[in-house]
Amino acid sequence: MHYQNSMMSTIEVVLAWDLPDAVLADAFRAQVGAMAGAGAE
């Protein structure tokens, strides 16, 4: 369940940036990586 909450948070954060469609996939990947790294400590 924590994974699903993290993914929903990532989606909400990236969509709030109001980026063009062409860069959304890269932004999602970058944010997922950043959030995964944040939990590793």
Q: Which amino acid is at 37?
A: G
What is residue 5's predicted lDDT score, i.e. its pLDDT? 78
Scan for tokens 């890269």, then name that residue: 26
At 19, phi and psi to the nearest 5? -85, 160
Q: How many domains does the chain have?
A: 1
Q: What residues make up the domain containing 17?
A: 2-38
Q: Which residue has 């939990």 as its token pair?
A: 39
DSSP string, 1-41: -HHHHHHHHHHHHHHHT---HHHHHHHHHHHHHHHHHHTT-
State the pTM of this model: 0.67
pLDDT tens for each residue of 1-41: 576 777 888 889 999 999 999 999 999 999 988 887 765 44
d(CA 41, CA 27): 23
